[in-house]
Amino acid sequence: MSTLWHGRFERGPAEELLAYTVSLPYDQRLFPDDIDGSRAHVRGLGRVGLLEDAEVQEILAALDRVDAELTDGTFEFLPSDEDIHTAVERRVTEIAGPVGGKLHTGRSRNDQVATDLRLFTKRHVALVAHRLVEVQQVLLTRAEEAGDAYLPGYTHLQRAQPVLLAHHLLAHGWALSRDLDRLLDARRRLDVSPLGAGALAGSSLPLDPESVADDLGFAGVFDNSLDAVSDRDFVAEVLFDLTLVGVHLSRIGEEIVLWASEEFGFCRLDDAYSTGSSMLPQKKNPDIAELTRGKSGRLIGNLTGLLATLKGLPLAYNRDLQEDKEPLFDALDQITLGLSAVEGLLATTRFDHTAMAAAADAPTSSATDLAEHLVAGGTPFREAHAIVGALVRQHLDEGADLAALVAEHPDLGPSAAELLGPGVAARRRTTRGGGGPGPVADQVERFRARLAADRERLPTG
Ligand code: ARG
């Protein structure tokens, strides 16, 4: 079996070695980036005179053919193709003949794979960013449609104060805005070409890494060849950013699971975005929402696994780095699918405004408003808290009607009892960023503007 290192070795690799070290099954998806990288490298060799024009053209033509074969599925892989880089170079040489042997001039698989992975990550982070914005759009649309609908806001999953449904939905929207920001920021930082770093130290040949970086559309070029071939910070960063998206989807999912339960009854899932039970005819299950919770565990595993792989690696390239790809690919795939699924889930879920209002209008939901009413009349807050707390206790222990207790109380009275009316408490939060109609209307405006600006920032191409 012929290898890239056959000159130095008397014997070929053991079968077990190849079985254990091969990365082709998963890194073949890097092929468009590998071919783009090779095209730019060959053009670069031509510009500095290391290849004749005719040689450049011959290798480029062979690369075009390899590209077509890989695209249409006619490319035949051989058992000796350890990874996508080996396979492409082997096939280029078969097609172009001996000149194919010049493709790898001044290059190592170490700078090659780092280049491929950066190009790939740049493209895929852009796709995730586009999907994220669509989920934000759905949250905005649902918030606009929700109007003045309100539900209990919770702390400790205990009813706390009513808030508008729009407020609740946009809370998730802002989390996704931060995710988008982080992903675009990581993308900007990874936009650096490692090509020309060679195996670790650069080259004695007159390469021009800057022009090759330009050709590949990178914003910058490496400053240190050791760093260029061994840096996987960008994989770690993107994995963290994707994991946090996953955690945010998981939190949305958990609320949908709760809201769709008969106990809450705040929403009904669309048939197309829920599943039935094989045994229980009445069931409608929130599987997408549950899987966003489940898959977030796997995303956290991808991130921690990669960090453990990187920890303790000496400079520069080590084969351990090959373990960067599967966690990254898996996280990108899962988040891309998850965002589409959650987009559809949120777009089609029917919110039950009546059930939400009924839960929010429980008399105790206005307890804080009663205390604030006393504060407005000059009572110190601690005292107000104790007065209302005592009334709530009486209401719960003795079953006395809270509105009647309030109306009869010397410090409160009938005007305070009106605070217990349906929807009253939901309208009383007026401060910036709060959950009442005034601040929520401002917030919707700000979210809309932010989303429009974010759309402008989305990478094209
Ligand atoms: N498949 C390898 C990887 O993903 C490519 C680089 C191999 N380099 C080496 N020196 N063996 O990291």
3-state secondary structure 82-144: CCHHHHHHHHHHHHHHHHHHHCCCCCCHHHHHHHHHHHHHHHHHHHHHHHHHHHHHHHHHHHH
Q: Which of 26, 109, 306 to mutate to test the pocket of ligand 1 (most atoms within 8 A of CB)?
A: 109
- Residue 396 buriedness (CB in 10 A; 0-12 / 13-18 / 19+): exposed
Poorest-pLDDT segment among 9-23, 67-81, 92-106, 331-345: 9-23
392-397: long-range pairs with CB below 8 Å, 24+: 392/364, 392/367, 395/363, 395/364, 396/364
Given CA atoms 103, 104, 109, 114 in this order, what sign does their dihedral have? Answer: negative
**What's the mean pLDDT in 111-117?**
99
Comparing C-alpha atoms, which of 88, 30, 24, 29 is closest to residue 60?
A: 88
Q: Tell me the pLDDT band of 384, cut-offs 50, 70 and 90.
A: very high
Q: How far is the CA of 319 from the centre of ligand 1 (A)?
A: 6
Interval between CA 309 and ligand 1 midpoint (Å): 15
Whether ligand 1 lies within 6 angstroms of the CB of 321 is answered as yes
Which stretch of 8-22, 154-168, 325-339, 351-365 has the lowest confidence by average pLDDT? 8-22
Collapsing DSSP to helix, strand or coil, 255 comes out as helix
Q: Which two tokens stand for residue 107?
A: 């290059």
Determine the distance separating the centroid of ligand 1 and the alpha carbon of 148, expressed in angstroms.
Answer: 58
- In three-state secondary structure terms, 154 is strand
Judge whether 306 and 232 are in contact, CB under 8 Å.
yes
d(CA 85, CA 104): 10
Tens digit of each residue's pLDDT (9 = 90 or more) over 288-337: 999 999 999 999 999 999 999 999 999 999 999 999 999 999 999 999 99
Cα Rg of the chain, angstroms: 30
Span 149-154, mean pLDDT? 98
pLDDT at 318: 98
Distance CA 291, CA 299 (A): 12
Q: How confident is the model at residue 365 (pLDDT cuts 50, 70, 90)?
A: very high
Spell out the domains of the chain, with CATH numbers in brackets: 14-105 (1.10.275.10), 120-148+165-190+216-352 (1.20.200.10), 362-452 (1.10.40)
Q: How confident is the model at residue 1 (pLDDT cuts 50, 70, 90)?
A: low
156 is known as an active-site residue: yes
Catalytic residue selected from 38, 41, 124, 277: 277
| Percent share of the chain, pLDDT over 90 | 93
Q: What is the pLDDT of residue 461?
A: 65
pLDDT digits (tens, 9 = 90+) for 155-193: 999 999 999 999 999 999 999 999 999 999 999 999 999
- In the predicted structure, residue 2 carries a pLDDT above the cut 90: no
CA 108 / ligand 1 centre spacing (Å): 9
Is residue 38 among the annotated active site residues?
Answer: no
Mean pLDDT of the chain: 96
87 lines ligand 1 (CB under 6 A): no
pLDDT of residue 283: 86
